[in-house]
Structure 1
Amino acid sequence: MSDTPLLSISDLAVDLGHGIRSTRVLHGVDLVVDRGRTIGIVGESGSGKSTLAKTIVGLHRVATGSVVFDGIELASAPRAVLGSVRRRVQYIPQDPFSSLDPRRTIGQTLAEAIDPRGASLRRHRARIVEALASVALGPDAVDRYPHEFSGGQRQRIAIARALVVDPDVIVADEITSALDVSTQAEILQLLGRLRDDHGLTMLFISHNLAVVEELCDEVVVLLHGRIVEQGPIEEVFADPRDDYTRRLLESVPGGAAFDISAPVVTAAVRTVAVGRKRPRRR
């Protein structure tokens, strides 16, 4: 395995909007993601989490700085190389329903992910069925439409669409925030299993620090578009250095499950530990 970090971000700045209405959303972000690691990115709404996620997968342009994937500087990469890289970095959105074409069956959507230029459901059906089976959906899902599925099932479909192209990196952007607690736990258990089975590198964006503590190896804390703290999960949670991180962790008495945006049942989200035992913060 190469010693080169799979993803390296240096002095990254991102502007949203156009002309005089543009706003700098990310400021001087530095981040190194090693292969096989799961990085949690946390912060309150408006901190820049989703902007960072979308910049990594190419949905936002870099204003200054660099994003290097597996040794390739994305801003200067030839289009053919960039297309190949983009397939290796897959994005799972917060709202899978809006990202699924209501006029296409699930099979057609996954076939297009496999081969955007010549999507053939007949040619790729076996591969699509296998991808759906990996997220606990049966072969009948291939010929059904997005509106026929529940929110949790649609999130599974979004995960299957990401996995069907055999990516190296998954960027999961608040993928459980719209789900009920029991469905959250199911999706997180699934994500943890798939990460381990496929050897995936993952960036996991979340409001929920309890989930981040269980699922992630490292954590990055964003505030107003800047990283204020980052490091191994055990170190940051046990001894936060930044006042903002400390306030986040101390917001719930007794170290209960913390969610910046909504309450979560601790017992449910902690079922995603997937065998990892970490010392609990006190």
Structure 2
Amino acid sequence: MNTIKTREEIEIMRRGGKILGGMLTELRDMCKIGLDIWELEEKFIQQCKKSDAIPACKGYTSMGFMPPFPTGLCISVNEQSVHCFPIKGRKLKDGDLITADTVITYKGLNVDAAFTVGVGKVSSSDTRLMKAAKRALLESIDQVKNGVRVGKISNKMHKVVTEYGFDVLRDYAGHGIGKEMHDFPEIPCYGNASDGPFLKSGMTICIEALVCEGKPKINYKSEWETEMADKKNFVQYEHTVLVTDNGYEIITDFEV
């Protein structure tokens, strides 16, 4: 576990983050009514080949006891939550909320990001849900700097989301990242500001706004796939962030 990155590693992650940001921007622009969501997976694999990047989720096994993840993208629609995957033949409909979450490995180092986008005419409540999650992500990132406890990030995220009347997942969290996809520290979406380990300059972390319209209980549909137990909508926004002496740098170069 090497949580503090060298200058060379940081520069590689910057380049990887720029690549991933460009990929996700292209994928988001594809999310229109009638799109077969499998086309997003095909496009992503093409993007990886073109960019000399590895689709890190494809074939990933969690601690060796989960079956290999089947795709490069995690794709969720509406009430589906984390770790779902695109199925050929499912087409986007007017009013859908689609989430894409993925990791690429670039020159041995990982970067991770996610977005949710509305398709066609989206309800006012779903627009508000996305707004809450985006704001929660960005205000949580604003807490980041050397010497700050992880709990300050978690507490801010939960506070922003609940101000809108929504909630956050309890079963999944943000995390450190680098040579490993999931590294120290774990960064929950809720908690006390005085809890958790201290951030250190040179750490690279993934901050994830995992936001649900209703209650945070999830059901497992398979070893990987989850959905909200109450069938209400789920959204996710995520950036990879570098901790600096006086603040932070967003590594994944795209606008959520």
TM range (shorter): 0.3 to 0.5
Larger helix proportion, structure 1 or 2? 1
Normalising by structure 2, report the TM-score: 0.34
Q: What TM-score does the superposition give when structure 1 sets the normalisation length?
A: 0.32
* Higher Rg: 1
